[in-house]
Amino acid sequence: MENFKDFAELTKRELKDKLYDYIGTSTYAGDLPYLLFGEYNADGTFTYSTAKSVELIKQYFDDFGEIVERIKDEGLDVINPFDNPEAFIVQMLLEEADNLLFDCETVGELNNNGDEFEITEELAKKIAEEL
């Protein structure tokens, strides 16, 4: 697994890669992280390896503190990384993706419109640049 300066950088790379896989797909802004990372969410793993998940937890431990606090502030439960490190990484990835995407001006505008939109190549490129 590649090394990134922080978990946000890893998440941005994944988002940019996945955006182009969904060109032609319609979604709502609030559903975008779940669409892009739906495979990981359905499988319950990002790494497809417990050992790799544990390594990511060690590597990005400090970054996860802030993400965990955001999840708790939303009134949600945090998956115990000791019980299920793979699912914990997926939860961190989804929360960080949501945070990063909604920092993008374009995603914010799409969300404010509240309408379903289609991911076009132009829109994917614009969001990727804003990430």
pLDDT digits (tens, 9 = 90+) for 3-25: 788 999 999 999 999 999 999 99
Please report how many Cα atoms fall inside a 13 Å half-sphere around the Cα of residue 67, on the Cβ side. Answer: 25
Q: If DSSP codes are grouped into helix, strand and coil, which group holds residue 26?
A: strand
Q: Could you tell me the two tokens for 17?
A: 């890669």
pLDDT tens readout for residues 57-97? 999 999 999 999 999 999 999 999 999 999 999 999 999 99
Single pTM value for the model = 0.90
Name the band, by pLDDT with cuts 50, 70 and 90, for residue 1: low
- Could you tell me if 111 and 30 are in contact, meaning their C-beta atoms sit under 8 angstroms apart? yes
